[in-house]
Amino acid sequence: MVKLYDRLFQDIKRSIREVDVNALYQELRSGRRPVIVDVREREEWEQGYVPGALFIPRGYLEMQIEDKVPDKDTPVYVYCAGGVRSAFAAKTLEEMGYRNVYSVAGGFSAWKHAGYPFVTPRQWTREQLQRYSRHFLIPEVGEEGQAKLLDSRVLLIGAGGLGSPAGLYLAAAGVGTIGIVDADVVDLSNLQRQVLHTTDRVGRPKTESAREALTALNPDVKVITHDVWLTSQSIMDVLADYDVIVNGADNFPTRYLVNDAAVLLGKPVVDGSIFRFDGQVTVYKPGEGPCYRCLYPEPPPAELAPSCDQAGVLGVLPGVIGMLQAVEAIKLLLSIGEPLVGRVLLYDALTATFRELHVQRDPECAACSPSSTLTPENIGEIDYQQSCLLPTRSVAD
């Protein structure tokens, strides 16, 4: 049997293309970014891997490779521990129609002995391997993306109708730090739509109720509570440490305040709003698309924009919009897909239809244009409760 195996292995080596680790290293240094596939087992992968490599154990190669590498003309470098499994894997890929496959002689052992850099992956607990297993299967997420999510920080403005579904799904997805800004307490009227809270928590601060719900769902998540009303004096400090802002504010002063601070800090805002049977969601990303003031330079009269407390809202509607906000936040954190930058997605629950509006930056926007008077120093001097308007630059300026 040994002789038959040796003969088979030598036949395979003669039929495939093989390169050494030096050639692979030079390919990486060239900037051409080839696809590198690690076909070892998990316990080997956890000891370190070639930077940028895809982890597909040999036993799963045929099942997963076409999803992760759909273009069969792509150069693919396959490695294992010493070059044996990679040779068989390269032969399999050629039989599957891949036209530029190379087995790396010597494998990861030779790579390490040559002194080339390698990455030690995050060590996942058994519970995490189960919890995030469906994310690991998605090429756009995988273990690297899940690690990014666990290292990310998202701030929810409001733990109400929109913040509830957004918070639950962000926590379930494994966003490692979730901040929550809300100074209100749970009211019985909230429970028709604010699914973070329960009847036994009526009267408790919403931030406490939200923290209890999110940590019960996923103990990996750290919840930071900001049990305050946002003001122009505090906003910069509250937003500063977060990667993405998910805005579910239900009043115009807070919306303008969050927008202006996010523009100054360069933070993307996933903005959502709801009214009776209608909802909308968009992404304001400084420098890439319009901000809130580009679309709404000044707030409408109060009688034209009643709150949900005054006009009502279908209880399930915030679930739709809040989950869309969670999707957009994750896309931003992982730098995948096409976030709703410069696009407003409108949802009509009664007709079950979506419409998309394309919007542009306002070259004279009071917040994000070159002529803006807004600065980190003067934002604290603006009374957003009295006026959402920003001062304009004088002629002398």
One domain, residues 174 and 317: yes
One domain, residues 105 and 231: no
pLDDT in tens, the chain (397 residues): 556 777 888 889 899 999 999 999 999 988 778 899 999 999 999 999 999 999 999 999 999 999 899 999 999 999 999 999 999 999 999 999 999 999 999 999 999 999 999 999 888 999 999 999 999 989 899 988 999 999 999 999 999 999 999 999 999 999 999 999 999 999 999 999 999 999 999 999 999 999 999 999 999 999 999 999 999 999 999 999 999 999 999 899 999 999 999 999 999 999 999 999 999 999 999 999 999 999 999 887 665 566 666 678 999 999 999 999 999 999 999 999 999 999 999 999 999 999 999 999 999 999 999 999 999 988 988 888 887 888 765 333 3
* Token pair listed for 286: 């400084």
One domain, residues 111 and 257: no
One domain, residues 92 and 178: no
Determine the residue type at 303: E
Instruction: Say what the pTM is.
Output: 0.83
Number of structural domains (the chain) is 2
Cα-based distances in Å from 170 to 89, 106, 135, 174, 232: 37, 42, 13, 6, 27
- Which residues face 270 on adjacent strands? 246, 283
CATH number of the domain that residue 161 is part of: 3.40.50.720
One domain, residues 157 and 110: no
Residue 285: CB atoms within 10 A of its CB come to 21
One domain, residues 272 and 320: yes
One domain, residues 30 and 172: no
Last residue of one domain, picked from the residues 104, 121, 138: 121
One domain, residues 102 and 158: no
One domain, residues 186 and 99: no
CATH number of the domain that residue 92 is part of: 3.40.250.10
Domain of residue 184, residue span = 152-381
**C-alpha–C-alpha distance, residues 123 and 241, integer Å:** 25
